[in-house]
Amino acid sequence: MKLTCIMCPVGCQLEVTKQGKEYVVTGNNCIRGERYGKEEVTAPKRILTTLIQTHKGVLPVKTTSPIPKEKIMEANRLISKMNIAEGKSGDIVVSNILGTGADVVITGDYVVYDL
């Protein structure tokens, strides 16, 4: 599998191959690329960024750490059903979302919109 490493601005072109029970990563210039390549083919994770509803508008939120890629849609659905009274940057709105160990925190100011 060919990947572009996203662990730093270099963007190494990785090649991940399976040799027996192990995955071998080539093309990386550092250990972070090797870890990224192996994780990406065995258990990919992503940071979730989305919006949460409030009575004033919406607030941007994100997970504090990457969560399993297969849980992104479920986590997004859960957050989209929420409506909080208010909040400020840094407030935790969901602790340990879906048992992933990641919290969902507010990352910015209100976005007010007219429908």
Query: Rounded mean pLDDT of 52-80?
Result: 95
Quote the pTM value. 0.80
End-to-end CA distance of the chain: 44
Structural domains in the chain plus CATH codes? 2-42 (no CATH), 49-106 (3.10.530.10)
Q: Do residues 69 and 61 touch, judged by C-beta distance below 8 A?
A: no
Query: Rounded mean pLDDT of 77-101?
Result: 95
Query: Rounded mean pLDDT of 62-75?
Result: 97
Q: What is the pLDDT of residues 2-36, one digit of tens each?
A: 999 999 999 999 999 999 999 999 999 999 999 99
Proportion of the chain above pLDDT 70, given as a percent: 96
pLDDT value at position 94?
97
Give the CA distances from residue 47 to residues 14, 62, 83, 85, in Å, rounded to whole numbers and listed in that order. 21, 7, 21, 24
Proportion of the chain above pLDDT 90, given as a percent: 87
pLDDT bin (cut points 50, 70, 90) of residue 115 is low
- DSSP one-letter code for 101: S
Look-up: residue for tokens 């992104």? Answer: 72
